[in-house]
Amino acid sequence: MKKHLVTLTPVLLFALLAACGPGEFKSDPSKHKFEDTEKYIARFEAPDRDGWQMPDRVIAALAIKKGSRIADIGAGSGYFTRRLAAAVGPGGSATGYDIVPGMVEYMKKDSQKLGLKNYFAETVSPDNPSLGRNRFDMIFICNTYHHIPGRAAYLGKIAPALRKGGRIVIVDYRKDSKFGPPAHYKLDDKTVIGEF
């Protein structure tokens, strides 16, 4: 894993722009289920999300090249996937991956409603997303990384899907955020970099 990632420049953009956000976490977030799809879609699409998530700042910070291919892991309702699809333009693509079939169905309908022919959605396994090899210029993981059990091993499974020079982007709750999971589940940059 480490040897493979060394060839990627830059390997990691640890974006801590997701300073806070609403959430209810009563147990280990890696075991958190999102079975009540409608409830979570309403939360992920809440009108106030733009205020704390700052999607325009996130997209600008990523400096996405037109024609790029992006995987959005843990995409939920496609909140970022649709924005990533717009950023890469018609020559690129953004695929939202989620473990909840209801979320994937929502994204498929969303892409049709928006007329974005480069916005796709697929269901994946929680422990092995099977993204293939050399497919993506970016793997984007927003507000999801802290949910992943065995994160270092998971990174080893997704890294081969990056093209040369590709990057993995983590946007997640800061340790000092008053929202999101309890503090002991939040990850600092040192921990995440160590897992890479």
Q: Which of 94, 88, 96, 95 is nearest to 67 (CA)?
A: 88
89-127 pLDDT, tens per residue?
999 999 999 999 999 999 999 999 999 999 999 999 988
pTM > 0.85: no
Neighbours of 39 (CB within 10 A): 10
Other beta carbons within 10 Å of 182: 12
Question: Are 111 and 82 contacting, i.e. CB atoms less than 8 angstroms apart?
Answer: yes
How many whole angstroms separate alpha carbon 118 and alpha carbon 116? 5
pLDDT in tens, 120-146: 999 999 888 899 999 999 999 998 898
Show the tokens assigned to 191: 């921990």
By the 8 A CB rule, do 148 and 170 touch? no
Tell me what pLDDT residue 34 has: 56
pLDDT single digits (tens) 23-60? 433 344 344 455 677 887 888 878 888 787 888 999 99
For 97, the token pair is 């991956």
